[in-house]
Homo-oligomer: A and B are copies of this chain.
Amino acid sequence: MSRKLIYLDNAKTTQIDPSVFAEMKKYSEKLYAAPSSTEYGHSFGLRAREAVETARETIAKKINAEPSEIVFTSGEIENDNLAIKGACFAHDLKDGKNHIITTKIERKPILDIFKMLEGMGCYKTSYAEVDRQGVLNLTEFEKSLTNSTLLVAVQHANQEIGTIQDIEKIGEICRKRGIMLYVDASQSFTKVPIDVKRMNVDLMSLSSDKINGPKGVAALYVRSGIRLQRLFEGGEGGEIRPSGIPNVPGIMGFARAVEIADEKNNEHMRKMRDYLIENLLKIPNTRLNGAKGEKRLPSNVNVSFKFIEGESLLMHLDSKGIAATTGSACFSSNLQASHVILALGLKHEDAHGSLRLTLSKFNTMAEMTRVVASAKKMVEKLRKISPFGADNAGSDVNY
């Protein structure tokens, strides 16, 4: 590409930060040994172990956890599986607790895990509703909890529309009933303050590749006392997640990414987000998906353009060097419209015309100006050739 790419798919994955990569280099080329236990092994391995322990402290501190409560894994999907299946399988169903709840707008892997557990025949599942902005209805949610509820899985922030849930209230409701709470914080980590103690969280998924850290590594917070059944055998000394040779460069890079993720970056993203929302909404027949202000991730913009097929819009943006995504069915591998957009009570056409732009600290205001100009032009052009007709493009009904 001759033109500089404008990358707005940061909710999927991010560019690595150079200082993160420098840390990985150190542990790949110099301190490359596998960590030894504290009690034996050559001193080279002991130094690798000490390094991993400092990484554990850095990540624990960011969410007010204890270092011993941080388990390193290979990514978000492993976190989801280890947390939900691990907690269910470690629990003896004889006490009658076999009911698990999640929301209708969770990431697909979590919904898949619920479906799999449902299919086993010994678990009952429920899917909590959200309002028009994607916020969980807490009164309804609390009513759905029963004496047989074992686990609740609620995301901190949504992957498509950026809506932030009130985890503190959800945690309070769950804890007082003795229900385990798994929070997928893969989108919110370092972007929204997290305090697992105050929030009464039992299990939490923390991503590295979403915060300019390395791919192939993640962390699962497992509150002291929570029992999980391992997905992998082969560890020493009862590890929850045996790794054999731990991914030390990945772990050290992840910790570095956490260290440098600061409020200044979030403020920068918030400004770009608000600029995009304000200016994209000036295009007629455009609606914002998700909440405004404090209830929205600093990094997320999601709008629907009426009379537009998102796939076409994306292709045109792509040709201008702008990488984004859509909730359109044609864009998904299973040819289904975004389950998140539909769960808000919106129509298939809203999903089809949706555009998700997700930011990182590396984006600039200059890029945002170009994105708004391109989007405006493309939407106008596409509406002119839309089968729904250009005539409709003027009416603002339902938008």
Contact = CB atoms under 8 A, between A and B. Distances in A.
A252 to B, nearest CB: 11
Task: Give this chain's copy count.
Answer: 2
Interface in A301-339: 311, 314, 317-318, 323-325, 330-334
A332 B12 CA distance: 41
A217 B216 CA distance: 8
Nearest to A209: B245
Contact of A77 (B32, B33, B243): B243
Which of A112, A215, A236, A333 has the most chain B CB within a 10 Å cutoff? A215
A21 B32 contact: no
A218 to B, nearest CB: 9
Interface stretch (A38-46, A131-139, A150-158, A271-279): A38-46
A42 to B, nearest CB: 4
A171 interface: no
A34 to B, nearest CB: 5
Given A243-B75, A244-B109, A80 B25 contact: no
A353 interface: no
A13 B34 contact: yes
A330 B21 CA distance: 37
Contact of A215 (B37, B75, B246, B331): B246
A45 B323 contact: yes
A334 B13 contact: no
Given A28-B215, A43-B323, A74-B216, 15 more contacts: A13-B33, A14-B32, A28-B214, A41-B331, A42-B323, A73-B74, A75-B245, A76-B245, A77-B235, A81-B233, A107-B234, A214-B249, A215-B250, A216-B247, A237-B334
Closest 6 CB pairs of A and B: A109-B234, A216-B247, A74-B74, A16-B28, A42-B323, A77-B244
29 contacts: A9-B45, A12-B33, A14-B32, A16-B29, A21-B29, A24-B24, A40-B311, A40-B333, A42-B314, A43-B318, A73-B74, A75-B243, A75-B245, A77-B235, A77-B242, A77-B244, A78-B232, A81-B232, A81-B233, A85-B233, A107-B234, A109-B244, A110-B234, A113-B234, A116-B233, A216-B216, A216-B247, A231-B232, A237-B334
